[in-house]
Amino acid sequence: MMIVRPIRKSDYAELLKIADESGHGFTSLPVNEELLTKKIARSEASFAKQVAQPEDEGYLFVLEDTETGLVVGTSAIEAAVGLDDAFYHYHLSKVIHSSRTLNVYKAVDILTLCNDYTGATELCTLFLRDKFRKGGNGKLLSKMRFMFIKAHQQRFADTVLAEMRGISDDQGRSPFWQWLEEHFFSMDFPTADYLTGIGQKVFIAELMPKYPIYVNLLSKDAQAVIGKVHDKTRPAIQLLKNEGFTFNGYVDIFDAGPTVEAKVDNIRTVRIAQKRTVVIGDNQGGMQMMLSNDGLVEFRATLADISVEFNTDTVVISQQIADALLVQAGDTISIAEL
């Protein structure tokens, strides 16, 4: 059985492997032993913390195969970005160049450096090992965050965003960054990406162009990747679009990958998730459902094929599922269709 749970200190070795497998452009999991250790400790402290409003908490989850004990993926939630370190984006918009005298009218795309998402909640660090990208594992790892947010809504902002990985090649070369590097920086994309991942962001404010960038002055290769996602990220962005997330012109400052956003109350899983009282018994199966307990430190989520009666406030689950979710008969769980 696959279970999502909060990360523990004992998961460090597996997290390091996942960080190494995730490759270039995966800023939130740099291959840095000290940083990963701190990331785990910060997550454990966040889950244990009493919170009335979102601040600097970061919640890191892992997907565990309970049969083998192997950790096969991660996902995370940042409660409120940009409160301690500036959270940068480029915003893609238009300016109009016109002259009535010459009868010329031209709309031009520009990129403007901004911090518009300061204070928003961020979905991040979603990675699933290749051979486990099946059976709904990716959906569980992503969507269970909405179940957690709904259960603990005071811990999160009204706006939720996700930065999607932009286009770069196997060597970590980003067409968008190559143009910036040539004109403003003296470091390659993997180095800039790594420095951001370990929290050294001051160089962005120091070296980034202070004025809007005219898109038509970029190289053709750089223009072509603005707002585009990495091939491995296509399933993730489609999943978020299905949940109600939209692209509003914000792109990553390094690889120009799109950032999508949604209001919490408009997220599909948040809207359809239902509270049910647990009944232990034999459920002959039916549709694939996502199930989660209402815990914090002991939060658990899983998938199961169960038959659900929609005119009742109970749900029948097996003892095995109840044990996995750390619940007993009479406890409350949340359920949602995938």
The pLDDT tens digits of the residues spanning 213-270 come to 999 999 999 999 999 999 888 988 999 999 999 999 999 988 899 999 999 999 999 9
Structure-token pair, residue 153: 């809504």
**pLDDT tens track for 142-183:** 999 999 999 999 999 999 999 998 998 877 788 998 888 888
Average pLDDT score, the chain: 90
CATH number of this structure's domain 273-337: 2.40.40.20
Domain boundaries, the chain: 2-89+114-269, 273-337
| Topology match between the domains 2-89+114-269 and 273-337 | no
Is 2-89+114-269 assigned to CATH 3.90.1150.10? no
- Mean pLDDT over residues 66-88, rounded? 92
The pLDDT value recorded for residue 224 is: 96
Please give the positions annotated as active site.
230
**CA angle, 48 as apex, 47 and 54 as ends, to 5°?**
60
CA distance 30 to 195: 9
How many residues can be counted in the chain? 338
Give the tens place of pLDDT for each residue, 269-289.
Answer: 999 999 999 999 998 778 899
CA-to-CA distance for 168 and 180, rounded, in angstroms?
14
- Tell me which residue of 117, 131, 230 sits closest to 176, measured CA to CA: 230
Per-residue confidence (pLDDT) for residue 273, from 0 to 100: 96
